Amino acid sequence: MGQSLSSQLVNLLAAFLLLIAFAMLSQRRILTLIRLFAWQGAALTASTLIVAYTTGQVHLYFSAALTLLLKVLLIPWVLHRLIDRLQIRWDVETLINIPATMLIGIGLVIFAFALAAPISELANTLTRATLGIAMASVLLSFLMMIVRRKAVPQVIGFLAMENGLFFAATSATYGMPLVVELGVALDVLVGTFIFGIFFFHIREQFDSLDIRHMEKLKQD
């Protein structure tokens, strides 16, 4: 009974994660995007905690704590400071209009679900049903990186993709070894800082964070 309730809770959180991935895809404002990213981290923390509690895997508690610290508190705070410094509060531009993006998103979800179905049948973990959702949120974040024109939303897409991968690891095999997780977490943190520095350089060079300017080879 406890097993099935926690499995249901994890499924619910997975659905929430997918919902947030779509919300991020359709979001026009950067501030809300960052808030959504923090929520995604919170959902991830909660689901990791539930899996840790049910299966008694101690290292999952650490990774939940790590997720909470990094993805709910630290990185959103860094991003907030970044956009304050860069003074970017304008609406995000997309390459394709939002309803079309959503339709592509549905296609990706169907693809991910179809891909995950045979794997889920083989698995006997508590969280097997959520693998499809984890893959879908990875693909959706990838789509977000593709359709956004500005650098900051692209980075948020990258970070969200890492969230999706993390969730996939938890749902497929109860998480990666702690050393790997620590390494990934550090990478993400360092990545965020480097991106932050890059933003300033891009803006200094091109007076804008629109990455279209980087496609020009020469300045005329």
Partner 1 sequence: MTDAPGIAFQILQSVFVVFAAPLLLGWANQCRAWLQNRSAPSILLPYYTLAKLFHKDAVIASNASPLFRITPYVLFGCMWLAAGIVPVLATDLPFAPAADIIALVGVFALARVFSALAAMDIGTSFGGLGARREMLIGFLAEPAMLMILFTAAFISGSTQLNTIVETLARREFAIYPSLAFAAVAFLMVLLAENARIPIDNPTTHLELTMVHEAMILEYSARHLALIEWAVAIKLFAYTTIGIALFVPWGIAAAGDWGALPLAFAALAAKLALAGAGLAFLETLLAKLRLFLAPEFLSTAFLLGVLGMLTHFLMQG
Judged by CB under 8 A, the stretch of 30-38, 115-123, 158-166, 204-212 that binds partner 1 is 115-123
Size of the site for partner 1 (CB under 8 A): 26
Amino acid at 216: K
Q: Is 219 helix (H, G, I), strand (E, B) or coil?
A: coil
Q: Does 115 bind partner 1 (CB under 8 A)?
A: no
What mask of x and - would describe binding to partner 1 in positions 21 to 40, judged by CB under 8 A? -x---x--------------
Q: Measured at the alpha carbon of residue 215, what is the angle toward residues 210 and 220, in degrees to the nearest 5? A: 95
Q: Does 18 bind partner 1 (CB under 8 A)?
A: yes
Under rule CB under 8 A, which residues in 82-111 are in contact with partner 1? 98-99, 102-103, 105-106, 109-110
CA 176 to chain CA mean position, Å = 17
Residue 92: count other Cβ atoms within 10 Å of its Cβ. Answer: 20
Rounded to a whole number of angstroms, the minimum distance from the CB of residue 117 to partner 1 is 7
What mask of x and - would describe binding to partner 1 in positions 133 to 172, judged by CB under 8 A? x---------------------------------------
**Which of 9, 165, 182, 211 is close enough to bind partner 1 by CB under 8 A?**
9
Q: Measured at the alpha carbon of residue 218, what is the angle toward residues 214 and 220, in degrees to the nearest 5? A: 110
Q: Measured at the alpha carbon of residue 72, what is the angle toward residues 201 and 195, in degrees to the nearest 5? A: 15
Q: Does 44 bind partner 1 (CB under 8 A)?
A: no
Q: Which helix (H) or strand (E) holds 61?
A: helix 58-67
Report the alpha-carbon distance of residue 22 to residue 117 in Å, rounded: 21
DSSP output for 84-97: HHHT--SBPPBSS-
Provide the binding-site residues for partner 1, judged by CB under 8 A: 8-9, 11-12, 14-16, 18-19, 22, 26, 98-99, 102-103, 105-106, 109-110, 113, 116-117, 120, 129, 132-133
